[in-house]
A and B are shown apart, each in its own frame.
Chain A
Amino acid sequence: MPDDLNWAIGGEAGDGIDSTGKIFAQALSRAGRHVFTSKDFASRIRGGYTASKIRTSVDRVESVVDRLDILIALTERTVHENEDELHEDSVVIYDGERSTMQDVEVPHGATALEVPLKRLAEDAGGAIMLNVVALGAACEVTNFPIENLDESLQKRFGDKGEAIVENNKKAARMGQEYVREEFDHDFPYDVETTDEDYVLLNGDEAIGMGAIAAGCRFYAGYPITPATDVMEYLTGRIDQFGGKVVQAEDELSAINMALGAARAGARSMTATSGPGIDLMTETFGLVATSETPLVICDVMRSGPSTGMPTKQEQGDLNMTLYGGHGEIPRFVVAPTTISECFWKTIEAFNLAEKYQTPVFLVSDLAMAVTEQTFSPDTFDMDEVEIDRGKVVDEDDIDAWLDEKGRFQAHFPAADGVSPRAFPGTTDGAHMTTGLEHDELGRRTEDTEVRVEQVDKRNRKVETAKEQEKFDYREFGDPDADTLVISWGSNEGAMREGMEFLSEDGIDVRFISVPYIFPRPDLTEEVQAAETTIVVECNATGQFADVIEHDVLERVERINKYTGVRFDADELAAEVKATIAGETGTQEVQAE
């Protein structure tokens, strides 16, 4: 187990919870500590409960656990919301002078640390800084050198002027001194610092950075939680590399703009979440039949319909796998960690262009709103490889012209991949269409040509299976009786869950699958195991269905659809219960 500290700040939406969490997470990261953040945020601007949680350790942290050591409570409700996670060594920091905080009762023998946050903030220059006073108090409680806050305060408030930065530094120190003077030093926390340099980023940012690294030059999108960060990351940054972000009027437009840019030769993408995927589905078939390379990113959130827009779910697997009328060849890639969000985005662009096929890059809210630390060389740009596939230019286009000199953009090549000429290429003029078409892109209903073109498009997927490695990531004991399979962001929780399990003497083999289609064949792995358990954040077990279909064998399922990701300890308990033959999902459902 990592020697970890679990910290949270909670209050109402609009209280600056996210940015306070960000300041502390950055300070920890800069102090050479690993960080894993999670957020529960309400979609209303004001009124809902919201929290920012940080798990930190000198060792890597890959998930959240069901425990809080330090809680900054800006509202009484915050204490109630986190009741179950507090313990006797927990410290709850709150402003006891506030009239709304008079009835706070700190449970489980945890320490109530009443700090006049508002009064001290006013003394430092303004009540608005009360969260920073609380951060200072938290530094004292955790024995975390307060200087580490300074750089992130500078980063956060630098553009508001030096005076504001200095006031905030002062506010933090007032919180620290208050705790030092008013309370006995007897807190069991000691947040060590190291000399390591880490970067701190979330899954959406990793996707955005991956896109730029991959040479993406055009992005069209429509804002939607939790995919908006991809767009906001790219806005401005992609311009520095000759690219552009366009905010479209809706998702119908966004995917068609992205398609247009891809036809013009740009590496192009769009990102959205479930409701946007619904709209974009209209154009999936066109992308595939026109053989246009396009990366379509779905950062999943809880559905159906508007569902719970700020909550976790992995409910769109079937949508990305089967969505759209007719039969649409495609790739579905689902990164399993935040760093993999970066690398799989690059791979998605290569797959899209090599096979001139839509690629679904499927991420989820848990990764989108989590910030995690990494060594910067995790994102070594020298390792980035670009493969644009069969692009032809003026010099080699002749080989692809028919006897009348017409470019065959849908030539039924043996590997299914036709030549691609960017508009502007001499002699490359050709049309393409969502209608069935011949090798020239002209509409046809000729039965032979129809079959030839369908086979050709599907053959690209077969070619990819031969040429690419659609592998899985494996952890744990390869000979264990129990095989756990998951996809998407559950990897971190399961990896840490395995440590809890091994404390109980349970070894498992864990396979984390980043490729949904084409995907690795797990028949041998499932057959070798006594029990196979598929873990996912949805109610019906969409990935479990797919595995059963592949291996023709029933599997056990652990499903969570509360809207909150798996905690490592919770998942371990679920796996243990499932092995013992108990129905594993009940407890999770009741949460």
Chain B
Amino acid sequence: MSSDIRFTDFKSDKQPTWCPGCGDFGTMNGMMKALAETGNDPDNTFIVAGIGCSGKIGTYMHSYALHGVHGRALPVGIGVKMANPDLEVMVSGGDGDGYSIGAGHFIHACRRNVDMSYVVMDNRIYGLTKGQASPTSREDFETATTPDGPNQPPVNPKALALASGATFIAQTFSSNSQRHAEIVQEAIEHDGFGFVNVYSPCVTFNDVDTYDYFRDTIEDLDETDHDRHDREQAKDKILEGDKEYMGVLYQDENSVPFEEREGVEGSMAEIPDGAPEGAMDLVREFY
């Protein structure tokens, strides 16, 4: 790791095809800044991207990366980190990828607490398929597939995370580039699963959850007396409902990453040219 890494080193030479004004630009810039700020470089970083507008991030960033199957980015990230804990692993996807098709993996990734970060670009809409309800869309949000609204409440991902035993739960707003980058950096630095829900507005298909809406409603936890280590306070803030927060809602100070608990010591990539030493003992066990 060298100190002369700049965040632009994490940029690929592919120009993003996101709509002009898309929140994902800001989200990605913050991720790159946070990675550079934490002393990582592209050759020791692994980005896993889901499917959706957000999933394009693997193409626009420069690092080791895999853009995989819809909803399965978290398990890939877990596999990478378990096999080589020396890598910086960052998983990124959208609200559909993480809270709908991949919701099962999200819950279990929170429980498992592998040392990696998970940045979700939450725009409360399916943008890539041109505007259908997402799991975080409002109950009355009208779309082509939900003409009367979804008629079901949105998922509360922070509550899911807290209930699942997550050790780091944060929320940011892509437009506040400085705070967003700082909070993602904290997620990276956290010893365990660093979950950041990012309000990343879709300017094309969501005219309700707009930049203006978030700017007007969001409150920075740093400007309150919120104690991030207090799970009860976190629970109250997360379940409050009609308010949006920015900042670290919860952090478990005593978090020990899964791979450490499991005794994984280093990269699993190197193996001997033949059967490992002591392998014949495995045969003798069957006497």
Contacts and interface: CB of A to CB of B under 8 A. Distances in A.
Interface of A: 29-30, 197-201, 205, 209, 212-215, 217-218, 220, 237, 239-244, 246, 248-250, 252-254, 256-268, 282-283, 286, 290, 376, 379, 381-382, 384-386, 388, 404, 422-435, 441-443
Nearest to A424: B44
Contacts of A433: 58-59, 66-68
B69 A256 contact: yes
Contacts of B268: 217-218, 242-244, 261, 264-267
Contact of A386 (B47, B78, B104, B271): B271
Nearest to B63: A429
Interface of B: 12-14, 42-48, 58-59, 61-69, 71-72, 74-84, 86-87, 104-105, 107-108, 262-276, 278-280, 282-284, 286-287
A237 B282 contact: yes
B65 A209 contact: no
Contacts of B104: 249-250, 252-253
B79 A218 contact: yes
B64 A217 contact: no
Contacts of B80: 260-261, 263-264, 423
Contacts of A265: 83-84, 267-270
Contact of B75 (A218, A257, A386, A422): A257
A428 B43 contact: yes
Contacts of B47: 431
A198 to B, nearest CB: 8
Given A384-B275, A422-B269, A423-B44, A431 B283 contact: no
8 contacts: A212-B282, A213-B275, A218-B83, A246-B82, A423-B43, A424-B269, A429-B62, A431-B64
Contact of A209 (B67, B262, B283): B283
Given A423-B87, A424-B267, A257 B64 contact: no
Nearest to A409: B64
Contacts of B59: 431, 433, 442-443
B274 A385 contact: yes
B42 A429 contact: yes
B262 A423 contact: no
Given A213-B276, A252-B75, A381-B275, A264 B269 contact: yes
Q: Which are the 5 A-B pairs with shortest beta-carbon distances?
A: A260-B79, A265-B269, A215-B271, A217-B268, A199-B286
Given A215-B271, A218-B82, A256 B68 contact: yes
Nearest to A342: B283
Contacts of A290: 66, 68
Contacts of B287: 29-30, 197-200, 376
A312 B79 CA distance: 32
A268 B58 contact: no
B286 A386 contact: no
Contact of A253 (B75, B270, B274, B282): B75
B86 A424 contact: yes
Nearest to A282: B69
A242 B67 contact: no
Nearest to A292: B66
A261 B286 contact: no
Contacts of B276: 212-213, 215, 241
B263 A256 contact: no
Contacts of B75: 220, 248, 252-254, 256-257, 260
A381 B105 contact: no
Given A199-B287, A244-B262, A423-B87, A249 B63 contact: no
A459 to B, nearest CB: 23
Contacts of B12: 431, 442
Contacts of B265: 242
B91 to A, nearest CB: 10
Contacts of B61: 431
Given A217-B271, A384-B274, A432 B65 contact: yes
A268 B287 CA distance: 28
A283 B72 contact: yes
Contacts of A218: 79, 82-83, 268
A426 B9 CA distance: 13
A235 to B, nearest CB: 11
B269 to A, nearest CB: 3
Contacts of A237: 282
Given A242-B268, A253-B75, A259 B82 contact: no
Contact of B72 (A256, A263, A268, A386): A256
A313 to B, nearest CB: 27
Contacts of A257: 75-76, 78-79, 82
Nearest to A242: B268
B82 A261 contact: yes
B278 A258 contact: no
A286 B62 CA distance: 20
A1 B263 CA distance: 52
A562 to B, nearest CB: 31
A450 to B, nearest CB: 17
Nearest to A349: B271
A215 B62 CA distance: 30
B271 A264 contact: no
B283 A379 contact: yes
- Give the one of A30, A200, A244 with max B CB within 10 A: A244
Nearest to B91: A260
Given A218-B82, A265-B83, A253 B278 contact: no
B177 to A, nearest CB: 24
Contacts of B58: 431, 433
Contacts of B67: 431-435
Contacts of A198: 287
Nearest to B78: A257
A259 B79 contact: yes
Nearest to B284: A376
Contacts of A384: 274-275, 279
B43 A426 contact: yes
A182 to B, nearest CB: 35
B56 to A, nearest CB: 8
Contacts of B65: 430-432, 441
A286 B69 contact: yes
A426 B63 CA distance: 11
A260 B78 contact: yes
A125 to B, nearest CB: 28
A213 B279 CA distance: 6
B284 A199 contact: yes
A448 to B, nearest CB: 19
Given A244-B262, A376-B284, A283 B269 contact: no
A548 B23 CA distance: 57
A430 B58 CA distance: 9
B147 to A, nearest CB: 30
Contacts of A427: 43
